[in-house]
């Protein structure tokens, strides 16, 4: 039996080096190929009369067969839809023309390529970057949905970046108008990994189907892989219908919750675009106003926005004129839509004597973080595991909970000077979380995930832009780009020191902290506040209970220090807790600190 002759692929007609739009008379020079899809190719295009640069989408016209006629009809629908759209987050449509072989669409040129290129270079993106991109995508998608248009093919390669790093939704080849019932007819089209359950079940696309795709995109850029990947295709579609995907445990709680909302199998349970940006993921996290161009290939280091004078005036007004005696620690809800963080009058101040006695909180109340901050690159260890300091703190807390039987009262302890933060101020929604150490030093975990500290006695400035990177300066030698951050730190420090002096609660001198000591994390919930330092020290303040807890040291040198009604605190060694146990109230404090640290 003779082998069947191989079908020869039909070659695409060549695109001329120079093209003329017969309608306008403009002449363009075709440049390099910048992208290609199943039915089209995209080139860089230059207007010969103005030197303006565009992107040229080229679709072959083909012959007169049924398939070619269908393709021609799709191109006509794409032009009809896209040419009427005007929005900063949608690729601009500048015109179209055709010749015997091709249909040409002149589009906005996005010089930074697509988010697919960014993810290929970066593997994963940071949560501030994801918030930035999602804000633009939600804005553009909301514009489409208001005009009863569903995109039907939202994916990373269809999100383009211009020279200013503004994200643009493009490639409306599959976009369609929804019918009176809010749905398109039940055609299975789009990228398989990002198809919504109702689309897989052939119930048609709707605006909620695009929102599902946003959830897939958010998951992909944060983890480096789509939520739904399986072979064969039928297995993946079954996972999509049931909403089964790998839990991204290393992400923040707010990110995980928003992904779960977006990937709800029931379309009615997904958030609307009108309310999406009010989610805790956006309101309780830092969103940059813009991204640097180098973030296409390396993680950005976010800076406090200039000018310096504006920072001095604004922070000075908020801090120096608002200093007052500390109020009880009562975490506030995040700012609502349209607000840029909390009102100055709602700034939270804390200290060892600032808690009012209102009884013990319910031990098993669910942990819901109202605010939190993390040092840059400290989200997780290798392969999604926790950082060593977090694991060590959990082990130490577990040791204290496991040793001995519960006692009726705490054992006799000692009064030892320890390094801890007797004062702190939470203004993380705008600037950062500032704290005063018992050695006289001060620090701030800034909103952009960097850390800066002033070390006594000479006022050495220690700056940590990323985990493991330490830069030290004298006050005179601080680089210009860091002066705004130093201003924030100094204003926090001066106000906290003044409060300590006024209250007469200056701590007993302790050995000064090393230059590498920094606040890794702070966690605020309705039950209290937890601080985790890079030396493994865990500090916990409890809402409604006049108590502070500090766990410090290593191994057999581990010690627990408690403040019940203000200083001085009482310290217990691990050996004493082993032999004597601890009172029920102390055990409750330890248990809650353990659960709160587990929640991250």
Kindly write down the DSSP assignment for every residue of 424-489, as one continuous string: EEEETTTTEEEEE-TTS-EEEEETTS-EEEEETTTTEEEEEEETTEEEEE-GGG--GGGHHHHHHH
Give the residue numbers annotated as catalytic, written as ranges: 153
Give the per-residue pLDDT at 258: 96
Give the per-residue pLDDT at 214: 96
Inter-axis angle of helices 127-146 and 207-223, to 10 degrees? 170
Report DSSP state, residue 160.
E
Of 395, 473, 415, 485, the closest CA to residue 449 belongs to: 485
> pLDDT tens, position by position, for the chain (600 residues)?
455 555 555 566 689 999 999 999 999 999 999 998 878 899 999 999 999 999 999 999 865 444 555 667 789 999 999 999 999 999 999 999 999 999 999 999 999 999 999 999 999 999 999 999 999 999 999 999 999 999 989 999 999 999 999 999 999 988 988 876 666 665 667 778 889 899 888 888 889 999 999 999 999 999 999 999 877 888 888 889 888 899 888 888 999 999 999 999 999 999 999 999 999 999 888 888 889 999 999 888 765 444 444 544 454 454 444 443 333 333 333 333 333 333 333 334 343 333 333 333 343 445 444 556 676 655 444 444 566 666 777 777 777 777 656 677 777 778 777 888 888 888 877 788 999 998 888 999 988 889 999 988 767 899 998 777 888 888 888 888 888 888 889 888 888 887 777 665 555 567 677 777 888 888 887 778 888 888 888 888 877 777 788 888 766 677 888 876 655 678 888 777 777 777 887 788 778 778 777 766
Task: Residue 343: count other Cβ atoms within 10 Å of its Cβ.
Answer: 11
Whole-angstrom CA distances from 424 to 383, 420, 463 are 33, 11, 19
- Which conformational region is residue 371 in: left (phi greater than 0), alpha (psi within -120 to 50 degrees), or beta? beta
Q: Determine contact, residues 462/455, Cβ cutoff 8 Å.
A: yes
Going by the annotation, the residues of the binding site for ATP are: 57
Give the per-residue pLDDT at 353: 31
- Torsion angle defined by CA atoms of residues 89, 90, 91 and 95, in that order, rounded to the nearest 10 degrees: -130
CA 73: distance to chain centroid?
A: 41
Q: Over the stretch 182-236, which tens digit does the pLDDT of each residue have?
A: 666 656 677 788 898 998 888 888 899 999 999 999 999 999 999 998 778 888 8
Structural domains for the chain: 18-108 (3.30.200.20), 115-296 (1.10.510.10), 355-598 (3.30.1120.30)
The answer to pTM > 0.75 is no
Q: Determine contact, residues 504/352, Cβ cutoff 8 Å.
A: no
């Amino acid at each position: 039996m003779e082998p069947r002759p191989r079908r020869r692929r039909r070659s695409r007609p060549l695109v001329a080096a120079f093209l003329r739009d017969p309608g306008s008379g403009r002449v363009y020079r075709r440049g390099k190929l910048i992208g290609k899809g199943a039915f089209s190719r995209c080139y860089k295009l230059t207007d010969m009369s103005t030197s303006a640069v565009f992107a040229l989408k080229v679709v072959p016209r083909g012959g007169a067969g049924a398939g070619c006629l269908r393709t021609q009809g799709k191109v006509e629908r794409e032009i009809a839809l896209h040419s009427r759209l005007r929005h900063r987050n949608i690729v601009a449509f500048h015109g179209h023309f055709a010749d015997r072989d091709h249909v040409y669409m002149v589009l906005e040129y996005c010089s930074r390529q697509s988010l697919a290129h960014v993810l290929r270079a970066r593997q994963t993106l940071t949560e501030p970057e994801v918030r930035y991109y999602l804000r633009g995508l939600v804005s553009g998608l909301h514009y489409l949905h208001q005009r009863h248009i569903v995109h039907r093919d939202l994916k990373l390669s269809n999100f383009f970046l211009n020279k200013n790093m503004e994200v643009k939704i493009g490639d409306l080849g599959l976009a369609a108008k929804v019918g009176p019932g809010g749905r398109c007819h039940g055609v299975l089209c789009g990228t398989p990994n990002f198809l919504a359950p109702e689309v897989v079940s052939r119930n048609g696309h709707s605006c909620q189907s695009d929102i599902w795709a946003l959830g897939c995109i958010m998951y992909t850029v944060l983890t480096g892989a789509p939520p739904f990947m399986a072979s064969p295709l039928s297995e993946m579609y079954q996972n999509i219908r049931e909403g089964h995907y790998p839990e991204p445990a290393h992400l923040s709680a707010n990110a995980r919750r928003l992904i779960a909302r977006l990937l709800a199998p029931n379309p009615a349970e997904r958030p609307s675009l009108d309310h999406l940006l009010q989610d805790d993921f956006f309101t309780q996290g830092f969103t940059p106003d813009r991204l640097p161009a180098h973030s296409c290939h390396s993680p950005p280091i976010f800076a406090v926005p200039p000018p310096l004078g504006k920072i001095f005036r604004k922070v000075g007004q908020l801090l120096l004129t608002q200093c007052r005696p500390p109020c009880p620690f009562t975490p506030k809800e995040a700012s609502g839509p349209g607000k840029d963080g909390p009102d100055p009058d709602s700034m939270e101040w804390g200290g060892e004597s600032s808690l009012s006695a209102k009884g013990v909180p319910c031990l098993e109340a669910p942990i819901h973080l109202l605010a939190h901050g993390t040092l840059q690159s400290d989200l997780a260890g290798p392969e999604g595991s926790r950082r060593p300091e977090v694991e060590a703190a959990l082990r130490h807390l577990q040791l204290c909970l496991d040793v001995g039987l519960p006692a009726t009262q705490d054992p006799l302890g000692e009064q030892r000077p320890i390094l801890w933060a007797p004062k702190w101020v939470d203004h993380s929604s705008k600037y950062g979380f500032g704290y005063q150490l018992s050695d006289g030093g001060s620090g701030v975990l800034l909103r952009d995930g960097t850390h800066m500290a002033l070390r006594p006695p000479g006022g050495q400035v220690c700056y940590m832009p990323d985990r493991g990177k330490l830069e030290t300066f004298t006050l005179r030698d601080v680089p210009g780009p860091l002066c705004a951050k130093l201003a924030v730190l100094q204003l926090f420090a001066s106000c906290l020191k003044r409060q300590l002096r006024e209250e007469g609660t200056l701590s007993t001198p302790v050995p000064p902290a090393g230059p590498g000591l920094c606040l890794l994390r702070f966690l605020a919930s309705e039950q209290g506040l937890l601080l985790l330092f890079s030396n493994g020290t865990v500090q916990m303040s409890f809402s409604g209970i006049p108590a502070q807890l500090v766990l410090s040291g290593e191994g057999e040198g581990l010690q627990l220090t408690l403040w019940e009604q203000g200083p001085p605190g009482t310290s217990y060694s691990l050996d004493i807790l082993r032999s004597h146990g601890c009172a029920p109230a102390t055990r409750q404090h330890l248990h809650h600190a353990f659960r709160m640290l587990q929640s991250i």
